[in-house]
Amino acid sequence: DSGVTQTPKHLITATGQRVTLRCSPRSGDLSVYWYQQSLDQGLQFLIQYYNGEERAKGNILERFSAQQFPDLHSELNLSSLELGDSALYFCASSVASGGLGSNEQYFGPGTRLTVT
Amino acid sequence: AQTVTQSQPEMSVQEAETVTLSCTYDTSESNYYLFWYKQPPSRQMILVIRQEAYKQQNATENRFSVNFQKAAKSFSLKISDSQLGDTAMYFCAFTGNQFYFGTGTSLTVIP
C-alpha cells in the first residue's frame, strides 16, 4: 500500500459525459501528479500540482482539468468524454515540488475509466 | 526533446536466472533522476530503484541493480535470482521538466 488513495476504482460512462476522479496523497506529500495509461501503453504525464498550485503541465487535453484543494487532495475533471479517453488514470504523490524527480513518486491504485 | 526508449517490448527469463532490461534516454540536462518502476498484473505502479545522475555509483536494491552509463545515456536494470513475482511490466522513467516514461518491457519469469 503506497498510501495514495484514488476513488472511484472503476467508472463506466457514456460519450459526451463529464466525470471527476479523486486522489488523496500520502500524508506529508505536497505534490500530486496525474497520469493516463491507455491499454498496453506507457504512462502519459498529464499535470502536476504542488501545494495547491499548478507546477507542470504535460499532454493534458483542453477537455481535461485538475485542481488541488487546501487539504491537498486533488481532482481530475474529464469532460466531453470520447471513446479514446478510456484508460487507467493514475495519481501519484511526492514530497518535492519542482525538480520533479528529486523525490520518488508513489502511485495510487488507479481509476479505470471506460467510456461507452 | 527529452525521450526514454525501451527497445525490448517483451523478455523472459528462467526462475533463479539473471536478466537485464535496457533503457536509453535523451536529454541535454546535466542533473536529473532515473527510475525503474514495476507494474504487476494488479496494475499498481511500484518503485523498484532510483538513480541520481550526479552519483557515479550504481544504485542497488536487494536483487535489483542498475548499470548507469551517463555518457552513453543508458540506464539498464539487472534482476538477479529472478522470482515468479518479478513477472510484470517494467518502466524506465526519467525526470527533466516532466516525468517521462518509456513504453515498458513485459518480463515473464518462467518456472
**Model confidence pLDDT, tens digit, residues B70-105:** 999 999 999 999 999 999 999 999 886 667 889 899
pLDDT digits (tens, 9 = 90+) for A22-72: 999 999 899 999 999 987 677 888 999 999 999 888 889 999 999 999 999
What does each C-alpha distance from A20 to A17, A44, A45, A79, B71 come to in angstroms? 10, 18, 18, 9, 44
Tell me: pLDDT of B63 over 70: yes
What gap in Å lies between CA A68 and CA A54, rounded to an integer? Answer: 8
- Give contacts of B35 with chain A, Cβ < 8 Å: 101, 104
- CB-nearest to B99 from A33, A41, A106 is A33
d(CA A105, CA B18): 27
Strand-strand pairing, A10-13 and A111-115: parallel
What's the mean pLDDT when you consider all of chain A?
Answer: 91
What is the per-residue pLDDT for B3? 86
Q: What is the mean pLDDT of residues B20-38?
A: 90
**Cα(B72)–Cα(B2) distance, rounded to whole angstroms?**
15
Q: Do B99 and A2 touch (CB under 8 A)?
A: no
Contact A11, A110 (CB under 8 A): no
Q: Using DSSP, state whether A103 is helix, strand or coil.
A: coil
